Structure 1
Amino acid sequence: MTIFILSVSEHIFSTQRIYKEARRRGHEVAIINPLECSVKLSNGKPAIIYQGKDIIDIPDVIVPRIGVSTMKHGTAVVQQFEMNGKYSTASYSGIVNAQNKVRTLQIMSQHGLPIPHTVFSVNTETISEQIDLVGGAPVIIKLQEGTHGSGVILAESKKSAISIIDTMHSTRNSILLQEFIKESNGEDIRAFVVGDNIVSCMKRKGVEGDFRSNIHKGGSGCKIKLTPEEEAIAIQATKHLKLDVAGVDMIRSKRGALLIEVNSTPGLQGIEMYTKDNVAKAIVKFLENNVRTKL
């Protein structure tokens, strides 16, 4: 099987892990920088030009590792491969929807999955009312396209929340407001979903005094077992977003598990380090068992 990993650098930990596991299992693997790909469209067959060659027909599978910096062009490259009949572990629409927190939560809400009370608006005249709609202060303020805990603010009082929201609107940032789940105690759950299975799961805890639990912000993790409810939420979320490989983030509340985010390009370093699970191998085995049969 020929696998293309779409990544801006071969030195990224997650890219290297998938590459090495795929090579170890005997597959042809190439790391393709989507920013160096040119898509040619005409009346005839489209082409994807990379390093002077048309590569559109080469891979059996593509594994997109599309981050914020490569989103616009990277997803266009993914879509072109898909339109040429190539299987992708993350669909074009899934990547785009997962990147935007509002779109993700709209889809989750539509399908009845539990999420925190959330409000998004551009009306600066009703900020106080918007805060009340999610239960009042303290309130979480999020950039719609932030990553790794960046662009997430806890406003302790209504006054400070109004000031922060007004400032963000003035700088044309798209934001959402979310209820603060005090009982989560700065912890969340990352479930790593591959196909129909959760191949690894960890609980993440933020550094002392920080409500954010992201490993990238200095947090720590430990391996845990999900409840049947949490397993169902994680798997359903990836199905609704059309992602065969994804990280699903949840928090535990008095109302039960609440889904907060789905990541179409989940990192492997933190979860493999804290759980000792070989997530990269699980991804490659999924490709072998579920994709090769379609070739």
Structure 2
Amino acid sequence: MSDNDDVYLSPEEQLGEDAPAEEGEEGEEADKTSEKVSPQIQVFPLNKEIIIEGLSLLCQTGKKLEHAFIKLDLKDRALTDIIAISSYIHIRFLDLSNNYISDLSPLASMTHLLWLKVDRNSMKSFKEQPLSEFTFLQWLSVASNQIVDMEGLVGPSIETLILSGNSIQKINGLRNADFANLVILELRGNQLETTSGFDLPNLRKLYLAQNFIKRLEGLEKLERLTTLHLRDNQLETLEGLCPEMKSLQYLNIRGNAIAEGDALRSLHFLTSSLKTLVIAENPVVDAVPYRQTVLILLPQLERIDKEPVTLTERTEA
């Protein structure tokens, strides 16, 4: 793993499209979102010609010899009204990125959706949106919108959920009963102050960089978590890490406010699993011999920051 070990193979990459934004780009995208809504910008209603232009990937529908296009690309179309899309019920992959969409109700008939991207739009809430109709949806990205809470968000089949670059202040509604298959969750660049609220025992990767997190709380339910990314927050201590996190292999706390060696003591709860710790850009790095301090707590570590742990370091610790 590297210091930027937070890139995974998304359905976008599987379909040969652009890879997701690298760390640090979310803020720029959010700025673009706030800037693009302007009285001078002309918006266009969705029509059949635009839809036909964006259709691709012809597949059999399951009804004898019937075929239909199942992929629709409508990004960068300056759209506000997508009512014309409602009759295309066979769509499985839909990209609505970089428009002015605030209402997804025209998608209610698309019950075959597997993949949905609504990045850089004008979404403010999940309430009264047709997400409960998408029983097969596996990948959902609503990054860089204006979402402030998660009320109304459901996804029984969702495996990857990306909500980066919004204004979410609190984790609520993320229960295992509604997200039993959720494996990857992206919440970078929001306004979270705590990690409380995650009831997702099947979650594997959690990205919380660039928030305002001061406290680690409620992590005991993340029993299968392997990656926890907390870069650029406001942590002064790691109190809150717990023995229930028995699968955690990668922890990134770079760019926080940890100043003393004692603030790292909770790392010992991760002795049985943690392999990589990224701790650079914390005051503690300059205050104490931090690599040795960390190795005393976690003798099994394979890498600290960008450097592998040497046998000499391990022996001395």
Pairwise same-fold verdict (TM > 0.5): no
The structure, 1 or 2, with the larger RCO (C-alpha pairs under 8 Å, 6+ apart) is: 1
TM-score, normalization by structure 2 = 0.27
Structure with bigger strand share is: 1
TM-score by length of 1: 0.28
